[in-house]
């Protein structure tokens, strides 16, 4: 059964798909690269800005968003330079369709990494909502693709959390 939490996850991923469809492949590549860089940078520096679990989640999210958007902005500039190729018939449509596909992938990774991180630093009843959501488990599996890029400390937290009852 789809829970309200699942609907929120679907809305988030669908918005990434729409943005990818709207902006195109080059912009989506920038977004995906920004997502990967955001995961790496925010996971390495979030703890310097907060001591409580809520603060850690917020600092991770802010660093993640800033890094991802700055990278996206750089690719936006690259896209403007490459726009000359749009005069070829079909290129614009292909660019947008591939952008939508990549946007979906980026959204799934962002949601998966965010859920992975949120389960490591419990806040309120969020872990219970994640545990009840099959969709959240699916996105966490997808987000697991970037987990090897995270620093060793977070991987150790993941291993320790598996050992808990």
Quick one: pLDDT band at residue 153, thresholds 50, 70, 90?
low
**In contact, 120 and 161? CB cutoff 8 Å:** yes
Quick one: pLDDT band at residue 148, thresholds 50, 70, 90?
confident
Q: What is the mean pLDDT of the chain?
A: 82
Q: In sequence order, which ranges of the chain are alpha helices (DSSP H)? A: 4-23, 25-45, 53-82, 91-120, 126-132, 134-143, 152-163
State if pTM tops 0.75. no
The predicted structure's pLDDT at residue 23: 84
CA 65 from chain centre, in angstroms, equals: 9
Which one, of 147, 10, 22, lies nearest residue 95 by Cα? 22
Task: Give the mean model confidence (pLDDT) for residues 22-32.
Answer: 83
- pLDDT at 26 > cutoff 80: yes
**In contact, 28 and 102? CB cutoff 8 Å:** yes
Q: In sequence order, which ranges of 83-133 are alpha helices (DSSP H)? A: 91-120, 126-132
Q: What percent of the chain has pLDDT over 90?
A: 19
Q: Which residue has the higher pLDDT, 63 or 155?
A: 63
Please report, for the chain, the start and end positions of each structural domain, with discontinuous segments joined by +: 4-163
**In contact, 110 and 16? CB cutoff 8 Å:** yes
The predicted structure's pLDDT at residue 21: 92
- pLDDT tens figures, 49-93: 777 777 777 888 888 889 988 887 888 888 877 777 777 788 888
């Amino acid at each position: 059964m789809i829970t309200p939490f699942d609907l929120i996850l679907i809305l988030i991923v669908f918005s990434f798909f729409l943005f990818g469809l709207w902006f195109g492949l080059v912009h989506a590549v920038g977004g995906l690269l920004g997502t990967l860089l955001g995961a790496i940078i925010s996971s390495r520096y979030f703890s310097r800005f907060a001591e409580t679990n809520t603060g850690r989640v917020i600092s991770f999210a802010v660093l993640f968003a800033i890094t991802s958007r700055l990278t996206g902005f750089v690719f936006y500039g690259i896209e403007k330079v490459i726009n000359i190729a749009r005069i070829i018939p079909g290129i614009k449509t292909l660019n947008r369709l591939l952008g939508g596909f990549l946007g979906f992938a980026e959204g799934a990774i962002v949601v998966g990494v965010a859920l992975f991180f949120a389960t490591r630093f419990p806040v309120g009843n969020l872990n219970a909502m994640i545990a009840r959501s099959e969709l959240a488990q699916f996105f966490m599996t997808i987000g697991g693709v970037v987990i090897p890029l995270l620093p060793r400390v977070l991987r150790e937290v993941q291993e320790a959390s598996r050992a808990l009852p």
